[in-house]
């Protein structure tokens, strides 16, 4: 066994520094992983909240339109299915969330959203006409 008086004085210092670096590195890695996990969790909660708001807005939009059609006693066109309202609100929200809003880009942004909505309305119309052609 080595005599403690024969160990150079720098060995305990180097050992302490190396141990501190190892512990610090693992602590930093753990902190980084925890931070990324928390960011993903927060982003997931924000997305869930946004989806809930889109669904609520679409249902409210559909309901108000439904009430308007009922009060017009058939003078307005038939109401489209709820899914077309969901697609419309989701398309508008996606454009708003993905685009920096400026007065210059609003028309193009809304045009893209309305093209998506039109495809949903056209599909709903195709489904309705196919159901009318199908005998019961």
Note whether residue 15 is domain-resident. Answer: no
CA-to-CA distance for 40 and 91, rounded, in angstroms? 23
Would 101 be classed as within a structural domain?
yes
Number of domains in the chain: 1
Query: What's the domain range around 62?
Result: 44-133
- On whether residue 21 sits in a domain, the answer given is no
Token output for 45: 């909660």
In a domain, 10, yes or no: no
Give Dmax (Cα) for the chain: 104
pLDDT at res. 136: 45
Residue 68 is assigned to a structural domain of this protein? yes
pLDDT for residue 31: 93
* C-alpha span between 44 and 37 (Å, rounded): 10
Structural domain contains residue 23: no
In a domain, 112, yes or no: yes
Per-residue pLDDT at 1:
54
Question: Is pTM, for the whole model, over 0.75?
Answer: no
The residue ranges of the chain whose pLDDT is under 70 are 1-5, 74, 76, 128-136
pLDDT at 106: 86
In a domain, 9, yes or no: no
H-only helix segments in 1-136:
10-71, 82-98, 106-133
């Amino acid at each position: 066994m080595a005599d403690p008086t024969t160990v150079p004085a720098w060995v305990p210092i180097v050992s302490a520094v190396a141990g501190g670096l190892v512990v610090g590195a693992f602590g930093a890695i753990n902190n980084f992983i925890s931070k990324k996990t928390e960011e993903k969790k927060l982003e997931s909660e924000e997305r869930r909240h946004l989806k809930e708001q889109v669904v609520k807005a679409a249902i409210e939009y559909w309901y108000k339109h439904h009430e308007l059609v009922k009060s017009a006693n058939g003078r307005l066109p038939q109401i489209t299915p709820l899914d077309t309202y969901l697609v419309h609100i989701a398309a508008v929200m996606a454009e708003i969330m993905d685009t920096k809003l400026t007065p210059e880009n609003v028309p193009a942004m809304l045009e893209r959203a309305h093209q998506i909505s039109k495809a949903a309305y056209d599909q709903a119309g195709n489904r309705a006409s196919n159901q009318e052609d199908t005998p019961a």
